[in-house]
Amino acid sequence: GLASIAQAQSPAPAADAKRGHALAYTCNGCHAIPNYKNVYPTYSVPKLRGQKPEYLVAALKAYKSGERSHGTMHSQAVTMTEEDMRDVAVFLAGPKPLTEMKSDVPPDKRPKATEICKACHGTNGVGLLADQPNIGGQHEDYLERALHDYQRGGRKNVIMAGMVQALTAEDIKLVAEYYSKQKPALETVPNKAFFFSAN
C-alpha cells in the first residue's frame, strides 16, 4: 500500500561514523599502514582518507557481489549490510572528503590518455559525481593495477572496461603516474583513528 511505497522512497538514514569506527576494526590491518602491500599480486593497498563515502560503499558492494575479484575484500564485504557499509565508509573517508585538487603539470604536458578520464574523474582526479572516486594522490601502482584489472575483467564495471579497453600499457602507466601526483592527496587512514572514538 501507500505506507510501503513511502517507506521504500524514504531516504536512507544518515551514516554513523561512530558505529563505522566500531565495525572497521578489521580494516586497520591493511588500510591504516602507510605503503602496505597486497601480495600475489603485489601492489599498494589504496589510501581511503579523503575518498568519497558513496564510492567506498559502491566498492564494497562490488567486492560483495564479485564484480571485483579480491578474496580478502570479498570475505570482509560479504558479511556487511548496506547500513554497515555506509557507516564504515563515512568513518574511513574521514570528516573532509577531498573536493578540490591542483596539478603542477601544465595542460599541454598532461598525458593525452587522461582526456578519457576527466569526464568522470576531473582533470585533477576529483570525481565529479558522488559515486565516482577521487583518484588524485592515490598510489600510482594501485591505479595502474586497477586499470589493468578493468581491461582484463578482474573488475567488471562495464563503463570503466569500455573506457580503458583501447589504452596501451604505456598509456596506463602515464595516466597512473599523472593522477598519483595530484595534491592534496588521498591519505592512509591514521592508525590512531582505529583506537580512539570517531568524531
Mean pLDDT of 191-199: 68
CATH number of the CATH domain containing 134: 1.10.760.10
Task: For the chain, give the mean pLDDT.
Answer: 92
* Any domain includes 110: yes
* Any domain includes 151: yes
Residue 191 has pLDDT above 90, yes or no: no
> Distance between alpha carbon 188 and the CA centroid of its chain, in Å?
12
pLDDT value of position 194:
80
The model's pTM is 0.90
* Any domain includes 30: yes
pLDDT of 121-153, one tens digit each? 999 999 999 999 999 999 999 999 999 999 999
Instruction: Supply φ then ψ for residue 102, to 5 degrees.
Output: -130, 150
d(CA 111, CA 180): 13
Number of domains in the chain: 1
pLDDT value of position 192:
81
* Any domain includes 6: no
* Any domain includes 58: yes
Which grid cell sits at 51?
575518498
Which grid cell sits at 78?
560479504
Mean pLDDT of 47-58: 98
* Any domain includes 10: no
Mean pLDDT of 97-101: 91
Mean pLDDT of 34-51: 96
d(CA 80, CA 61): 9
Q: Which of 112, 133, 115, 131 is nearest to 123 (CA)?
A: 115
Residue 37 has pLDDT above 80, yes or no: yes
* Whether the Cβ atoms of residue 15 and residue 156 lie closer than 8 Å to each other: no
Q: Which domain holds residue 25?
A: 15-194
d(CA 156, CA 153): 6
For the beta carbon of residue 94, count every other beta carbon within 10 angstroms.
20
pLDDT of 2-18, one tens digit each? 454 545 555 667 899 99
